Amino acid sequence: MFGGKKFINLKIIIISQYFWPENFRINQLSSELVKKGNQVTVLTGLPNYPEGQIYKSFKENKKDFQYYKGVRVIRVPLIARRKNKIFLLLNYISFTISSCTLGLLKIINEEFDIIFVFQTSPVFIGITSTLISYIKKIPQVLWVLDLWPESLEAVNILNKKWQLKILRILVNFIYAKSSIILCQSKSFIKEINKQNINKRKLLYFPSWSDSEFLVKQKEYAAEIIIKRNFFTIIFAGNIGEAQDFPSIIEAFKIISINKIRNIRLIVIGEGSMKDWLIKEVKLNKLNHIIEIHKKYPLKRMPSFFKHADALLVSLTNKKLFSMTIPGKIQSYLAAGIPIIAMINGEAAEIIKTANAGKVCNAGDYKKLAKNIESLSKESKLKLKRYGLNGKLYTKKMFNKKKLINKLNRLLLSLKRDNHY
């Protein structure tokens, strides 16, 4: 029986372009819903994020990726995103076409109670969910983690008014056809509400802290050299345009000019700006204070964080990003390590409210450099206090168990009230 349960509360189909072995919170969410006694099926694409190529392990043995912790996985073909904007667009479009055709054919004879949509980029996934919702006559719940078309405008993929207007019409159509719209930040609720969307549909549902970071780690990652007299800052995650690495480079140029040699930044991850970052570090002779490493599995990250005296998060100075709570905020808070943030808006307020570190405005690299230098001189007791504050805050505000219990109750009530 699905998920090892004799009684099934809900039959849920999750639509997500990204899924295990790609690292997204939808992996945890789907498996937790199975534990609640639900039958969960995920319709997704071929794993290719963030490297941009279909995973070798998947190509070698596709059968190993048909189930994930009780979740059945249905995959449809797509064009790998590679590392340029043309292929990224083709990646989005190909998944939409595949999921609306092959995906639909694979589930056409199955019954479901609810469609749950993991809506990061692209919003085109809502086309698939809306089509299935219409054909199956079941409600859809949209979890909005990325605002469109604002996100495309923010990273300069689209900037013509007519293009943005067409996308806005599509987005509003998807919103209108959704029974519930879950928003990853309170700012998202305000922004979506401007589109004359029924306010009763809009609910705040943030990401949670990864449980891996709540477990105390004993071992240091062997890939990082232990330097006892250094103040070590770690950045972990996507290395893209949104993360504003040009400003981070400028901040560390100041630190280098000031001849502060006991501070280092360790960058762990992949992304479209990684090659640029490697070249800039070399060009500006920052190799002695900036180290760049490949991406590692989530379960390994606590051993890397064991090296950290502080964790760095940054986003560019764009309106959209001031409304966004990056998923790493919750993980950083849960890790119990001070946060250094160069960020605006709701995410900045969370760190300030938690008193979990030092914050400066997005793009203010001079202040970032000052904050780094200042934090490096703080006592161990003060640093420990920052970390503890963050840990306590995330347990209160971003508790995975409480959030998923809340979602499960919502989905059950939606089934009972379904008058599609």
Looking at the fold, whether 229 and 151 belong to one and the same domain comes out as: no
Q: What is the pLDDT of residue 84?
A: 79
How much of the chain, in percent, has pLDDT values that exceed 90? 67
- Provide the whole-model pTM: 0.85
Band of the pLDDT at 271, cuts 50, 70, 90? confident
Residue 8 and residue 81 share a domain: yes
Residue 2: the pLDDT is 47
Residues 391, 403, single domain; the answer is no
- Alpha-carbon span 344 to 360, nearest angstrom: 8
Q: Are 305 and 194 contained in the same domain?
A: no
Same domain, 122 and 253: no
- What pLDDT is recorded for position 228? 81
User: Is 269 in the same domain as 195?
Assistant: no
- Please give the sequence-ordered ranges of beta strands (E in DSSP) within 210-309, or none if there are none: 231-236, 263-268, 290-293
pLDDT of 148: 85
The least confident of 110-119, 123-132, 189-198, 210-219 is 210-219
Q: What is the mean pLDDT of residues 166-183?
A: 92
pLDDT on residue 158: 66
Whether residue 410 sits in one domain with residue 384? no
3-36, pLDDT tens digit by residue? 444 567 899 999 999 999 998 999 999 999 999 9
Total domains, the chain: 2
| pLDDT of amino acid 156 | 67
Q: Is 174 exposed, middle or buried (0-12, 13-18, 19+ CB in 10 A)?
A: buried
Of residues 97, 40, 102, the one with CA closest to residue 75: 102
Residues 349 and 328 both lie in one domain? yes
What distance in Å separates the CA atoms of residue 220 and residue 224, rounded to the nearest whole number? 8
Q: Using CA atoms of 30, 31, 37, 41 in order, give the dihedral in degrees to the nearest 10.
A: 50
Domain region containing 391 = 211-397
- Where residue 1 falls among pLDDT bands split at 50, 70, 90? very low
Q: The domain that contains 392 carries what CATH number?
A: 3.40.50.2000
Same structural domain, 40 and 144: yes
Is the bond preceding residue 246 a cis peptide, omega within 30 degrees?
no
**pLDDT at position 87 over 50:** yes
224 and 75 assigned to the same domain: no
273 and 182 within one domain:
no
Question: 150 and 272: one domain?
Answer: no
pLDDT tens-digit profile of 41-73? Answer: 999 999 998 788 999 999 999 999 999 999 999
d(CA 231, CA 256): 14
Q: What is the pLDDT of residue 3?
A: 46
Query: What number of other Cβ atoms are within 10 A of residue 361's Cβ?
Result: 15
**Model confidence pLDDT, tens digit, residues 103-139:** 999 999 999 999 999 998 888 999 999 999 999 999 9
Q: In the block, which residue shows the tokens 């009780």?
A: 70
Show Cβ contacts of residue 154 under 8 Å, excluding neighbours closer than 6 positions. 242, 316, 318, 319, 320, 321
